[in-house]
């Protein structure tokens, strides 16, 4: 766990946004269960990034693509996860792909990572293979009214989120 992240109480909402931590991603990070689908593995990996569990990230990475060394960027504060699309990756599939958006802040500046990740199931265990970041398409710059939703995806009004940064 990183120094910046507080431990998660089992009753707290899971960082992946899919329920209480102790019933959602907690058992996967603890090694008590294997993720039954590619999407659940992706959600648990996001949670591992939030709580700084490098061991789980490495354990859930396929050996053929796993890096020899891996460290987390401690200045990143993960803010939320949205699943955009899932292709295959079910309980009876051997491959799957999950597209997601992970929102974050670095030094109080919002950002987001949009990625299409590939997963493979071997001997009943899902593994992360790799991912391709999807760069946002350039958009025309328009003025954002203070009371409109913030474009960072936080769900807050612009004036309460990124206005003036």
Report pLDDT digits (tens) over 115-154: 999 999 999 999 999 999 998 766 555 677 878 888 777 7
| Residue 75 and residue 146 in one domain | no
If one counts every other C-beta atom within 10 angstroms of the C-beta of residue 99, the result is 18
DSSP 122-156: ETTEEEEEEEEE-PPPP----PPPTTSBPTTSSSS
10 located within any domain? no
79 and 96 belong to one structural domain: yes
CA-CA-CA-CA torsion sign (148, 154, 160, 165)? negative
Is position 32 within any domain?
A: yes
For 72-125, what is each residue's pLDDT tens digit? Answer: 988 899 999 999 999 999 999 999 999 999 999 998 899 999 999 999 999 999
Residue 145: which domain range? 141-165
pLDDT in tens, 14-56: 999 999 999 999 999 999 999 999 999 999 999 999 999 999 9
Residue 14 maps to a domain: no
Do 128 and 156 belong together in one domain? no
In a domain, 8, yes or no: no
* 77 lies in the same domain as 99: yes
Cα–Cα distances (Å) from 92 to 40, 62, 104, in that order, read 14, 19, 33
**Confidence band for 1, pLDDT divided at 50, 70 and 90:** very low
This prediction has a pTM of 0.79
Residues 130 and 145 occupy one common structural domain: no
């Amino acid at each position: 766990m990183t120094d910046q992240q507080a431990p998660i109480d089992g009753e707290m909402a899971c960082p992946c946004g899919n329920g209480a931590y102790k019933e959602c991603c907690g058992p996967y990070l603890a090694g008590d269960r294997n993720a039954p689908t590619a999407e659940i593995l992706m959600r648990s990996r996001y949670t591992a990034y939030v709580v700084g569990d490098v061991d789980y990230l490495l354990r859930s990475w396929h050996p053929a693509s796993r890096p020899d060394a891996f460290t987390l960027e401690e200045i990143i504060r993960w803010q939320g996860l949205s699943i955009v699309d899932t292709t295959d990756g079910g309980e009876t599939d051997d491959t799957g792909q999950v597209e997601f958006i992970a929102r974050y802040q670095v030094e109080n500046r919002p950002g987001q990572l949009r990625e299409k990740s590939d997963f493979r199931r071997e001997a009943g265990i899902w593994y992360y293979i790799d991912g391709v970041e999807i760069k946002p398409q350039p958009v025309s710059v328009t003025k954002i009214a203070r009371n409109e939703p913030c474009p960072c995806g936080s769900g807050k009004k612009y004036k309460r989120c990124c206005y003036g940064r």
